[in-house]
Every structure is written in C-alpha cells, then in structure tokens.
Copies of this chain bind each other. A is one copy, B any other.
Amino acid sequence: MSQFNSELRRLILDEARHLMITQGYNSLSMRKIASKAGCSATSIYLYFRNKDDLLHALIEEGFEMLRARLVETAATIQDPLQRLEALCREYVQFGLLNPEYYEVMFLLRPEHMERYPVEKFRRARKNLELITDTLNMFDRGGQYKAGDAYVRAHAITASLHGAVVLVNAGRLDVRIDKSIFVDTVILQIMQSLKSYTIQAH
C-alpha cells in the first residue's frame, strides 16, 4: 500500500465521490473511477485494499458530515425537547439531501465493513450518543435504568432511518407531501416523549 497522502489517492477519492453522487452508487466501478481519475483500474489498489476499502472511505466521509451537522445543532440549542427535535430534523434532512451518501452509509447488508470489525459502527454510534445525552437531560430524577435512554435513542434513530429510506426509495405515496410526512414522523417521536418526560418530572 502506497502512502496515505498522495495526489492520486485524493484524485481517486474525488472521482469516486463525484461518480457516486452523480451516477449513483450502483454504477460505481473500479474501471470507471480509474478512467475519470486518469489512471488504470489496478492503480486504485495501490491506495485502497479493495473496492470495499474505497467505499469505506466515502462512508467515513458521510458519517463525518452527518456528525458535524448534529454536533452543531446540539451545540446551538439548549432546551432538551427543542434540541431533540432539531436533531431529528437535521438527521432526516441530511439523509434526504445526500441520498447516495446515505445509501452507501447504511447499506442493508454491510459486508462492506466486515473487515473493519473494531471501529465498525463506532462512528454511527457516536451520533446516537448525542441523542442519548439529550434524552438523559430529562432524567434529572434518575428514575430510569441505566441504558434506558440509549435504547430509546436507538428507537428514535430507527424511526428517522425508516423515514429517510422510505422517501429516498420513492416508496412514499406520491399523494403525500414529503415534508408533511417528515413532520408526522418527528411529531410521532416527540409525542411519544411526552410520556417519557412527564414520568421523569
């Protein structure tokens, strides 16, 4: 494997990203990337172990982008409920605005990551921590079991994820306005939290 900081490596990644965004993840082939980058297909293997490794670099980019947005959102809003709702909106918006990134980040069967077992989902979970922490702000009384908010955070992201996937796959009934749908999903989450917060106070 050649050095990490390389002109060609950056170029390959740039062209891969561009192809993914414009043509879609499906039509991402080593030869196409190489062609755009002006090198041979096998040259990619000088900088990436395989296609999965290259994809993984894009996946990391995506999680970094998403995380940056969520961290910023969390930092600017203090009120727990408002912050949580803003986090939800930010999450969905990211998914809808970056469908190709989102797809490659959350491929159903992540065989693409099997070779990275350690930090496999660490980045994805960092985003969950933001939600978990916000949820824990409701638990001033401390009556919830440890990890309760963490499970709840998983449930929330599951809902958000489902919403993003449903819209991006074009599975939403065309008669339903997308933003109304998103509002409904987030409303559902926030409404469910009422019981959570009422109990907590």
Binding site for B on A (CB under 8 A): 24-26, 103, 106-111, 121, 124-125, 147, 150-152, 154-163, 165-166, 168-173, 175-176, 180-181, 184-185, 187-189, 191-192, 194-196
Instruction: Report the separation of the CA atoms of residues A150 and B176 in the bound assembly, to the nearest whole angstrom.
Output: 9
Q: Which residue of B lies closest to A170 (CB)?
A: B110
> A40 CB to closest chain B CB, in angstroms?
27
* A102 to chain B: closest residue by CB: B108
Q: Are the C-beta atoms of B176 and A151 separated by less than 8 Å?
A: yes
Are the C-beta atoms of A125 and B173 separated by less than 8 Å?
yes
Q: Report yes or no: A165 in contact with B108, Cβ–Cβ below 8 A.
A: yes
Copies in the complex: 2
List chain B residues, Cβ under 8 A from A194: 191, 194-195
A162 touches which one: B103, B165, B170, B192 (CB < 8 A)? B165
CB-CB < 8 A to A163: which residues of B?
A: 155, 158-159, 162
Q: Hey, which chain B residues are within 8 Å of A195, CB to CB?
A: 191, 194
The answer for the CA separation of A168 and B179 in the assembled complex, in Å, is 28
Whether B169 and A188, one on each chain, are in contact in the complex, defined by CB atoms closer than 8 angstroms, is: no
Q: A124 is contacted by which of B147, B156, B168, B171 (Cβ under 8 Å)?
A: B171
A103 touches which of B109, B165, B184 (Cβ 8 Å):
B109
Query: Which listed residue, B154, B170, B173, touches A184 by the CB 8 Å rule?
Result: B154
Looking at the assembled complex, report how far the CB atom of A164 sits from the nearest CB atom of chain B, in whole angstroms: 8
What's the least CB distance linking A199 to chain B, in Å? 10
Chain B residues whose CB sits within 8 angstroms of the CB of A173 once the complex forms: 121, 125, 150, 154
